[in-house]
Structure 1
């Protein structure tokens, strides 16, 4: 860690297998379509919003459970991050103190983190946008966090009303966040291709009709 703090209050499980073979395919589709391909399930609460326009990420979930207003577990999780991970943080939906800021964003970028999703608050939003780190959170507060714990890393978490297991694929854009279970990723990709073909045919039909009407 880049901070000097005791970690005895944390539970850090071994990093599980986190396949990335479907990440590239899923990255071609908007989150709305991914949700359609999952029967509109596994979509996080709309209150967790993109913190800057145009942010997008797709990657396996590096999960963190932390106490409201404490980010010690987040710092520790980044020691085990791999490039392309999406940091998914259950901060208990806290709205009193931020658990993330621009210094943690710098650590995320150094670790190759693809994006950050927080069921809680951030701060330093403008600085994080300038850094270019894709970030989703419930809101913003200037109040900073403590670093005492407790917390857990690589454990299943609830985030935005959806269960996220370590290694589940997270897809996030301006519309929101989808959670694709590892075991369903291939089936979701296949359904996405069918949905894409249907939507393109529908658009062409509408456009042809508009041209004929003129």
Structure 2
């Protein structure tokens, strides 16, 4: 799936920005993975220092979707590592956005997906299986609904209620 330049999307869709149907996430994320620009329909997760549901979702066919993980902004452990990055690539996910940390950065940087995260952390997460799938999440200054569209590149991350074109 071809990605759109986020700056061009913002310039072209001012009415969507003004209405709130197109939203810009605060610029707090770092970029990882081989795909520095990616887009697709959103699948949401809400977890805290537990990545069992992250693995479960990434084990399903991605079909060009983007996994958005609200990890509560925790800086105490990583929610995605090299194995999950490779799994996401193999299962056809376009990208992963983590409101939290990742690890195994060298491995993730070798994966043909896009990853955005707050930071890196060497410690792995807990494995309790606690969290919620396909729910409204709120971070980086905006709410993100399951099924919305995400567009990401070096300029930032956009969320839109529906797929858009230039």
User: Normalising by structure 1, what TM-score?
Assistant: 0.68
Q: Name the residue aligned to 1:175.
A: 155
**Higher helix content, 1 or 2:** 1
In structure 2, C-alpha distance between the alignment counterparts of 1:165 and 1:39, rounded to whole Å: 16
Q: Name the residue aligned to 1:35.
A: 10
Structure-to-structure mapping, 1:60-139, within 5 angstroms: 60-67=41-48, 69-139=49-119
**In the alignment, does 2:37 pair up with 1:56?**
yes
For the aligned residue pairs, the C-alpha RMSD in angstroms reads 2.0
Structure-to-structure mapping, 1:4-19, within 5 angstroms: none
Contact in 2 for aligned 1:89/1:159 (Cα 8 Å): no
Q: Name the residue aligned to 2:27.
A: 46
Question: How far has the Cα of 1:75 moved from its partner?
Answer: 1.4
> Matched residue pairs, number?
160
Deviations 1:26-47 (A, max 9, x none): x3x3112223423376111211
Q: Identify if the C-alpha distance between structure 1 residues 167 and 181 changes in structure 2 by more than 3 Å, giving closer, same or farther.
A: same
In structure 2, C-alpha distance between the alignment counterparts of 1:53 and 1:127, rounded to whole Å: 10
Question: How far has the Cα of 1:62 moved from its partner?
Answer: 1.0
Question: Larger Cα Rg: Structure 1 or Structure 2?
Answer: 1
5+ long unaligned stretches in structure 1: 1-22, 193-214
User: Normalising by structure 2, what TM-score?
Assistant: 0.86
**Higher strand content, 1 or 2:** 2
